[in-house]
A = this chain, B = another copy of it.
Amino acid sequence: MTIRFGVLGAGRIGQVHARAIASVEGASLVAVFDPMEAAAEAVQSKYGCDIRSLEAIIAADDIDAVAICTPTDTHADLIERLSRAGKAIFCEKPIDLSLPRVKDCLKVVEDTGATLMLGFNRRFDPDFEALHAAIAAGKIGEVEMVTITSRDPGAPPYAYIQVSGGIFRDMTIHDFDVARWMLGEEVASVQAAASVLVDPKIGELGDYDSVNVILRTASGKQCVITNSRRAAYGYDQRIEVLGSKGVASAQNTHEANIEIATADGYQRPPLLNFFMTRYTAAYAAEIAHLVAALTNKSQPRTTGHDGLMALALAEAALKSVAEGRTVALTEVLA
């Protein structure tokens, strides 16, 4: 059985998923859509798929699953249309920047019984998967305290920041999802601190570039997330989980696994500094996971609910910063 895919959006991330679909066993790339003709043609010429209109892909009989790689403000609408058209859906996070809109959208997914997988790529990183597997196997006992360090090499363009929904919804959202995955319990309350330390212009745009968040579950488990929009040494992505019997951590990935020692000391190369390079394996694994889920008729690891919860945590963090207090997740989810 082969899962036949359409891809909506042939930009940077659309190309990543097209490549993954073309290379994963059990998947085939049938058609791509992009309003920019040249982008669609590049995918067509590389993988030999059709170029089709949005409507044609949604209506296609020869397409089982569609990857949504279009701008964020189109996600919820496309998810609804594809759900109603009976397609399985892979959608890049977030579903939408508005929590009510996400809820409405997920209602449609639920009513139509569609399969929706959210593109929380980090859950498919081989190192993070190995970390989660070790914890699930009881290697560190009961999980107690999680520390997530996540720093971008540099800030995105101002134009992007303006439509991104802010650092919590755009960047921390990945860490919120990883936190829930590692904690193994829902978060009950959120405390956040936010500063503008990297670029004052980011502050003028109403956003922050340096934040710390403490999450706490009802049973008292905690998670700290530390984010910065600047890391001169590369794309810093680490997870550490303390349990009753020990601690487990996933380390960073360097440009190469070499070390040079001179009179100045021992030097290793900086980190891979681009999320697509850092998470190459994760992007391929995402699609393979969806193919397996569809084949086995199982639920994907990252669902619409995960998208909703991560967004709710972002809202709670924003509220915590604004009001200088601990915010219960129920306040934003109600």
Q: Which residues of A contact B (CB under 8 A)?
A: 23, 126-127, 130-131, 134, 139-141, 144-145, 147, 149, 151, 189, 191, 193, 195-198, 210, 212, 214, 216, 220-222, 224, 226, 228, 230-234, 236, 242, 244-271, 324-326
Contacts and interface: CB of A to CB of B under 8 A. Distances in A.
Contact of A257 (B212, B214, B253): B253
Contacts of A259: 248-249, 251
Contacts of A264: 267, 270
Contact of A326 (B130, B220, B242, B325): B325
B210 A256 contact: no
A99 to B, nearest CB: 22
A225 B180 CA distance: 21
**Max count, chain B CB within 10 A of own CB: residue among A189, A253, A265:** A265
A256 B135 CA distance: 14
Contact of A250 (B197, B257, B265): B257
Contact of A130 (B189, B220, B242, B255): B255
B260 A139 contact: yes
A138 to B, nearest CB: 11
B246 A260 contact: yes
A260 B140 contact: yes
A244 B261 CA distance: 11
A187 to B, nearest CB: 11
A149 B151 contact: no
A145 B244 contact: no
Given A220-B197, A221-B195, A246-B232, A256 B127 contact: yes
A224 B212 contact: yes
Contacts of A189: 193
A283 to B, nearest CB: 15
Contacts of A251: 257-259
A129 B271 CA distance: 17
Given A145-B226, A196-B220, 9 more contacts: A144-B228, A145-B197, A210-B222, A212-B222, A224-B224, A232-B245, A232-B261, A233-B261, A266-B270
A199 to B, nearest CB: 10
Contact of A248 (B131, B234, B248, B258): B258
A142 to B, nearest CB: 8
A146 to B, nearest CB: 10
18 contacts: A23-B23, A130-B256, A131-B256, A147-B147, A147-B226, A189-B193, A212-B224, A224-B224, A224-B226, A231-B247, A232-B247, A247-B261, A248-B259, A262-B270, A264-B270, A265-B267, A265-B269, A325-B325
Nearest to A256: B130
Given A222-B195, A224-B226, A259-B248, A254 B266 contact: yes
Contact of A263 (B147, B236, B246): B246
Given A191-B191, A216-B193, A242 B257 contact: no
Contacts of A226: 145, 147, 224
A144 B23 CA distance: 42
